[in-house]
A and B are shown apart, each in its own frame.
Chain A
Amino acid sequence: DAKTTQPNSMESNEEEPVHLPCNHSTISGTDYIHWYRQLPSQGPEYVIHGLTSNVNNRMASLAIAEDRKSSTLILHRATLRDAAVYYCILRDTSGGGADGLTFGKGTHLIIQP
């Protein structure tokens, strides 16, 4: 899977929007962009994924650059419960089969009250 680059940490205030960036300049045409987050003392949980178009769900929005070399996870109104490590992962679906996801170090999001 192609590599992603994320900031080590980010800080934001409660009830404000948060934009978490991810660079993936070597992304291929068949790579899906997945985001997971890991709350303290828990396993990672799925947040959102997309291929080319921007995506929205109840947890977040995913904005994908036109050239697909970067993406941004948007939390519209952060709460203290959103404090977590956020992982941006590329997944190549061209080969099929299940071989897990490669998690990098992610971005540690700190939310200030």
Chain B
Amino acid sequence: DVKVTQSSRYLVKRTGEKVFLECVQDMDHENMFWYRQDPGLGLRLIYFSYDVKMKEKGDIPEGYSVSREKKERFSLILESASTNQTSMYLCASSTGSAWATNEKLFFGSGTQLSVL
């Protein structure tokens, strides 16, 4: 089974801190994604990457950056955390260069980030 592992299940940080959320997948997937999930708003795409060192903005990239130095690892960076970035963060991966018939997203269990 594909495994997508997020480094922390719960994280508490202070306003202004630089925060790194790490995600690792073990199935050699080309595509990786970062979402955030908030009550009443569903999942929203922050950034995605379709190859090493490649990144694309999703729907809500403001206040975030990403890094993909190795194929299996995709990091989400909050340069200066703010209280409105308190949320559940979900990482996902998928295989293939095109969103074809057999494509599926595989998600990690999420990181609940609280910014105080």
Binding site for B on A (CB under 8 A): 32, 36, 41-46, 49, 51, 91-93, 96-106
Contact = CB atoms under 8 A, between A and B. Distances in A.
Nearest to B49: A98
Contact of A96 (B43, B98, B107): B98
Interface of B: 4, 30-31, 33, 35, 40, 42-45, 48, 50, 56, 58-59, 90-92, 94, 96-101, 104-110
**Chain A contact residues, majority secondary structure:** loop
A29 to B, nearest CB: 14
Name, among B91, B98, B99, the residue most crowded by chain A CB atoms within 10 Å (CB to CB): B99
B108 A43 contact: yes
Nearest to B29: A98
A93 B101 contact: yes
Contact of B110 (A42, A49, A98, A106): A42
B33 A100 contact: yes
A21 B110 CA distance: 27
B99 A91 contact: yes
Contact of B43 (A44, A98, A99): A44
Given A97-B50, A97-B99, A98-B99, A106 B109 contact: no
